[in-house]
Chains A and B, each alone.
Chain A
């Protein structure tokens, strides 16, 4: 039995890995495509930011007063690519700006200094020239507008400190300062919940990646039986001196190994991709790690999560194998298994947003019946050190998997595996050869 099992696992791995669709689609593509995508996106982000920083801005000063000069001085200090125009009209300024290829034109109209000195708002007009709808084009075009806003804040501080004597500018600008705390597992953490939410949202990738991995594995499992039918190798296999359960277990084992390889390739590719993206955003990311705020997986929790994921994978593969027994060819098997994706994805998407316990019973009960629900719930609960959902999950998925495996083994032991010929969207035929 063991000899036959090992032989089948070995054959499955060899056969699957030599299939260009699986080798490229599941293993090489994620390793190559993700890093290339990350590199390209990182490069374009960097280029966009650099283009915006070095954008050329034209200024037409028709006021000529002291406040206008202060503004020009400030802009020159911030951006060395400032061009001062000596135009006689707005139209001329716009035409010259277009000829010079600047990204924005700042117009300081007459009366700017007079207004500010008299305690009235000074008007500055900003013309953004958009030549391309690409991210970098819009970003650099809008830089003139942002510089005026920044100067406005500096001017506010100056006005408050020179004209209002009994309060500080800081007090006027921020009369109330909210200090946000978060309590997790009874521990007070001096961090706003919005920051925790944004950091925790990064864990959203886990269920997405798990879903993708399980879908890949299910496709392989469904194909591995159907291809035996399509390539006419099944009859020979079933007549060999190996038990039907051995064949089933061998196929399951081979598929799991390929799925794990695919998942590893996916993870490596994704990590490189994420790294490239975050490097380009680097400075703006909140520097908070989940561990530093008491949310994290302990080694025990990590193992428990691993068991839950493995059990869910096993149950999905067993289900996929059982269903594909009824399919006549690979296409039908993949279509049949495709019907399982929806129930697989429902818990993934629902539980990303809400907690299972907060759902009304009529919605929660069907979710509780789907083994995959427990993976998502456990991955969230284990971060907070909660083990109950994992334990219930492992028990339920084990029972579910055993039932499915029993059904699959029964199907393998009967002639149904040879005679069931379900064709999707085609006429159902049961015409065994005599």
Chain B
């Protein structure tokens, strides 16, 4: 079964078309990347799949469930990491992980397992006892990635997971995503404007610009079809041909 099916999805904000009939599918277990510049429509697509906003037309399914009519079921199987996600300043890192875990855990044992997983993924050790307001940007992002993946969602939706991070933190986050997808079979749909990151992480990518999908394929397929050496060059070529 496909993890995500998007068909003719359109979103109009006050007369401005943010998405213009986009269609793509994400296969179960793969890391799928949406790449494009700022304002291309990546966040809007992810927000629709995360049931936060409604499409103007078209439809989107997550493991066969419609994001509009079955939003509460979709929320049970996804975990969404917004680009600028924050955590509650006055809670400690561990309290934040516990807060999120309680929404997913069926019993005490499951709760303990989820939190332990979160502690492991974050790699923040003793600093998890400190309040979130004392964390650096990188630490906050690691906490967010941990809370997104610790619940082992069927679909993890990650919006710019490494944006604004230094090399060390960005490397850590990329490794965690890759490891999690391969070890736990979590399907990952992520957006990025860092083409090299996407080339390294993703099994397949969709290039998006001005609310339209320009091409879809594995990084290798896209490079071959565009006769370029990396996705950055490929993107520029695809955009100029569009």
Contacts and interface: CB of A to CB of B under 8 A. Distances in A.
Interface string B68-84: 00001001101111111
A7 B53 CA distance: 24
Given A232-B82, A232-B86, A239 B91 contact: no
A14 B90 CA distance: 8
B139 to A, nearest CB: 15
A374 B92 CA distance: 43
Contacts of A138: none
A81 interface: no
Nearest to B53: A415
Contacts of A15: 88-91
A235 B76 contact: no
A132 to B, nearest CB: 48
A235 B211 contact: no
Contact of B103 (A240, A414, A415, A430): A240
Nearest to A232: B86
Interface in A1-57: 3-4, 7, 11, 14-15, 18-19
Given A4-B103, A14-B91, A239 B86 contact: no
Contacts of A3: 102-103
A175 to B, nearest CB: 73
Contacts of B82: 232, 235-236
Contacts of A236: 80-82, 85, 144
B99 A11 contact: yes
Interface in B45-104: 47, 50-54, 72, 75-76, 78-91, 95, 99-100, 102-104
B13 A241 contact: no
A422 B41 CA distance: 23
Nearest to B102: A7
Contacts of B187: none
B88 A231 contact: yes
- Contact-residue size bin, chain B (C-beta under 8 Å from the other chain): 35 or more
Contacts of A430: 13-14
A432 B11 CA distance: 11
B39 interface: yes
B40 interface: yes
A242 B104 CA distance: 10
Given A430-B13, A434-B43, A239 B53 contact: no
A390 B195 CA distance: 66
B85 A233 contact: yes
A177 interface: no
Question: For A14, A231, A418, A433, which residue has the most chain B Cβ atoms within 10 angstroms?
Answer: A433
A231 B90 contact: no
- Contact-residue size bin, chain A (C-beta under 8 Å from the other chain): 20 to 34
A285 B95 CA distance: 53
Interface string A227-261: 00001110110111111000000000000000000
Contacts of B19: 434
B82 to A, nearest CB: 4
B18 interface: yes
A239 B51 contact: yes
Contact of A232 (B53, B85, B91): B85
A18 B88 CA distance: 11
Given A418-B53, A434-B42, A232 B75 contact: no
A419 B13 contact: yes
Contact of A241 (B39, B75, B90): B75
A243 to B, nearest CB: 7
A208 B240 CA distance: 69
A236 B83 CA distance: 10
Interface in A331-352: none
B54 A415 contact: yes
Contacts of A232: 82, 84-86
Given A432-B13, A434-B42, A238 B52 contact: yes
B75 A434 contact: no
Interface of B: 13-14, 18-19, 39-44, 47, 50-54, 72, 75-76, 78-91, 95, 99-100, 102-104, 131, 144, 211
